[in-house]
Structure 1
């Protein structure tokens, strides 16, 4: 796996050269803890997700990526929001500089067993009171904030 560096509202960020549709899952357990993985490439805690492959819907992508990254089977249960902030760019070691394009769905666990993937160093349900002390990118914190606000309508941004 290559390295990545996130830039957010950084005037010195490199100019994006790529726009790729991606998605993530916000999955909550019965106690209100959120399914998260600690990324191997950045060390940040993040929601499971990834980019679409040809031949699949975004919902299928999020279900597949969640299974690959956490070991859990989920079903899509709703839409948290659409996140397309051009102020968030991600630079990869291969020269790709991607502008954020991510749709975050609510997911519900239907099976599987929690397991760490090659992309992460830890996978678990993180309690809301732990969030502030963990390394979490501001764009992921925004998604968590929208979840905890119990918004009636999906975020569009």
Structure 2
């Protein structure tokens, strides 16, 4: 299943050969549950997101990626944080090894219905009380913690 491998402060990690602007979306519904997907590229849980494409602004990237991966339409309402830890690299099956550069945005659902895509094995609203029990990367967990903190000042790391 794995088409990507995440490394976290691992001395045996391959050396990064790219940096690509990417987004994740911290989307919480009126019941306080967060939108999560079990990713098809590594089987772990994460927030919807992806890379910015030429010709779109970064908020448009968030809206597009969330809709493509989950079926939910969102409105971007803020920034959770900017995450650029050089100790987090992602090795892809095609030989790309990407250093983390991810902007995590706060968004609210405005429409749509949950749908599984080719990028997700499962999509659901996860109550905050269940988040700690999901298998996810340390960087996803950190973004979720920052999102739930609801600080008016974005985290920059």
Aligned pairs for 1:118-157 (under 5 A) are 118-157=118-157
Match of 2:102 in 1: 102
For 2:134 and 2:82, the matched residues in 1 are separated by 24
CA contact 2:2–2:43 (8 Å) conserved in 1: no
Work out the CA distance in 2 between the residues paired with 1:132 and 1:61.
27
Contact 1:23–1:51, Cα closer than 8 Å, also in 2: yes
CA distance, structure 1, for counterparts of residue 62 and residue 128 of structure 2: 22
Q: Which residue of 1 aligns with 2:8?
A: 8
Q: How many correspondences in the alignment?
A: 157
SS state at 1:6 partner: strand
Q: Give the superposition deviation at 1:41.
A: 1.2
CA apart distance, 1:2: 7.2
Q: Cα deviations across residues 52-80 of structure 1 (Å, max 9, x unaligned)?
A: 11001111111100000000111101110
Q: Which runs of 5+ in 2 are unaligned?
A: none
Contact 1:2-1:94 at 8 Å conserved across structures: no
Q: Within 2, Cα distance between the matches of 1:152 and 1:50?
A: 24
Which piece of structure 1 moves more, 54-63 or 141-150?
A: 141-150
Match for residue 53 of structure 1? 53
Which SS does the other structure have where 1:124 is aligned?
Answer: strand
Runs of 4+ in 1 over 6 A off after TM superposition: none
Once residues 78 and 14 of structure 2 are traced to their aligned partners in structure 1, the CA distance between those partners, rounded to angstroms, is 34
Q: Does 1:22 align with 2:14?
A: no
SS in 2 for 1:133: coil
* 3-state SS of 2:136 partner: coil
In 1, the alpha carbon distance for the partners of 2:134 and 2:2 equals 23
Normalising by structure 2, we get a TM-score of 0.96
Determine helix, strand or coil for the equivalent of 2:142. Answer: helix
- For 2:106 and 2:53, how far apart are their aligned partners in 1? 20
Deviation at 1:134, TM superposition (A): 1.0
The gaps in structure 1 that reach 5 residues or longer are none
